[in-house]
Structure 1
Amino acid sequence: MKKLSEKQGLILSFIEEFIDEHDYPPSIRDIQTGCDISSTSVVSYNLDRLKENGYLNRHSEVSRGLSLSNQRDNTPEPLSMDTVAVPLLGTIAAGSPFPMPENDTWSDLSGSELIDLPQAITGTGDGVYALKVRGESMIDALISDGDLVIMEQASSVRNGQMAAVRIKSDNTTTLKHYYSEGPRTRLEPANSQMQAMTFQSQDVEVLSRVVAVWRYMG
């Protein structure tokens, strides 16, 4: 494989460490800040070179659409664009709960709207679904009103991860950064104009974690 430049090596190391810490890939802005690079266009150029040389998979139409290549120690192969259909279960902001399938009904979603997504994002698709974002509470995480968040079913997440949670007392759901603080749980928006919400921990149920953001450009 082609030798990396110093900047490309720095970017690749940052992406590896970010994914290891957060369980989802960094945005271009995260890389610019974390690697102290002058502009997002410089980041984008070097990501393209890393992709060309087999170090990364990159879906430019997807926010945070980066993944580490499994071909890094071999001759790179063309990126497969196989897709997996995942159900669109509803919307999320701070409103009514969406209909989560039971463990034995994920394969029987014929009545749901389905979204075709790259397999590099969804894996096998087991326990993966999409939600449409309503509102601007996560705009600083580059998630805007109308975007689709790709979720993986989970009953717990690490502090700081972005999660869909249900507030049991009023039976509503919301998408926020999750922080467990003993008897209290803090749900932090990614919007400097909004305040965090704090609840009794037993009143908060984790439903799933964010694995990607999908945005239609038109």
Structure 2
Amino acid sequence: MQSLLTQPQQRVFTWIEDFTAQHGMSPTYREIQKGLGYRSLASVQLHIETLTTKRLISHAPRKSRSLKILRPSDGIPLVGTIAAHSLVENFADQDVQHLELSCLPKLAHLSQHERSQHFALLVQGDSMIGALIDHGDLVVMRRESNPRAIRNGTIVAARQNGATTLKYLYRRGQQITLQPANPNYKPTVIDTSTEEVDIQGVYVGLLRGLV
């Protein structure tokens, strides 16, 4: 099990792993800054120092592309909770743990780059019970680089105004509907011409009874 990381630290570590796997070399601080949207190098430097202290990476000061992964991710990060009944804040600055690959045999054969696109969330609520996703389940999600390619009826983690929910996604023109799988709950309808929606991941599968 990897050392506990806050979500921002895990985000930087995963990005470095992903970049290295794709390009065969480590990123520069500037590339990390640009890739993750940081306003200054200071934030990047702080995270690099923390990851170095936790012995996850090493680096040579003032030497370009010297970042080296010492302890590759050994599982899928459990990054927080997600509401299955309404839009609530859930991606807090909290410690991140990893689910061992022994619990996820279908993902074990994937490359490091492919695994880095996956993450897990703890479900709160029962609005997706019709999709056999219940309160207390762990859902495994995969990041989608092209949200417009997601088909209607796909279960997604959707984020709006800093709040996230697990729902079926339906898109019609500029309107997005987040549809529950429980008739006791109403859908959330969003006009994307006035509000932004960030599709953080698509549903891959679930684990039950681990927490």
Normalising by the residue count of structure 1, what TM-score does the alignment of the two structures yield? 0.52
**What is the deviation of 1:209?**
0.3
Does residue 158 of the first structure (1) align with residue 159 of the second (2)?
no
Candidates 164, 167, 182, aligned match of 2:173: 182
**What is the deviation of 1:194?**
1.1
**What is the deviation of 1:119?**
3.5
Equivalents in 2 of 1:142, 1:121: separation in Å? 21
Equivalents in 1 of 2:203, 2:106: separation in Å? 15
Does residue 191 of the first structure (1) align with residue 186 of the second (2)?
no
| Runs of 4 or more above 6 Å deviation | none
Find the counterpart in structure 1 of residue 125 from structure 2.
135
Does residue 203 of the first structure (1) align with residue 196 of the second (2)?
yes
Q: Percent of pairs identical after alignment?
A: 33
SS at match of 2:130: helix
Does structure 1 retain, via aligned residues, the 8 Å contact 2:118–2:143? yes
**What is the deviation of 1:163?**
0.2
Normalising by the residue count of structure 2, what TM-score does the alignment of the two structures yield? 0.54
- Structure with the bigger percentage of helix: 2
Equivalents in 1 of 2:203, 2:183: separation in Å? 20
| Structure 1: gaps spanning 5 or more residues | 1-83, 101-110
Does structure 1 retain, via aligned residues, the 8 Å contact 2:82–2:166? yes
Matches within 5 A, 1:4-83: none
Partner deviation per Cα, 1:21-50 (whole Å, 9 max, x = no partner): xxxxxxxxxxxxxxxxxxxxxxxxxxxxxx
Equivalents in 1 of 2:90, 2:171: separation in Å? 21
**What is the deviation of 1:203?**
2.2
Q: What value does the CA root-mean-square deviation take over the aligned residues? A: 2.3
Taking structure 1 as reference, are residues 193 and 90 closer, same or farther at Cα in structure 2, changes over 3 Å only?
same
Does structure 2 retain, via aligned residues, the 8 Å contact 1:154–1:207? yes
Does residue 120 of the first structure (1) align with residue 106 of the second (2)?
yes
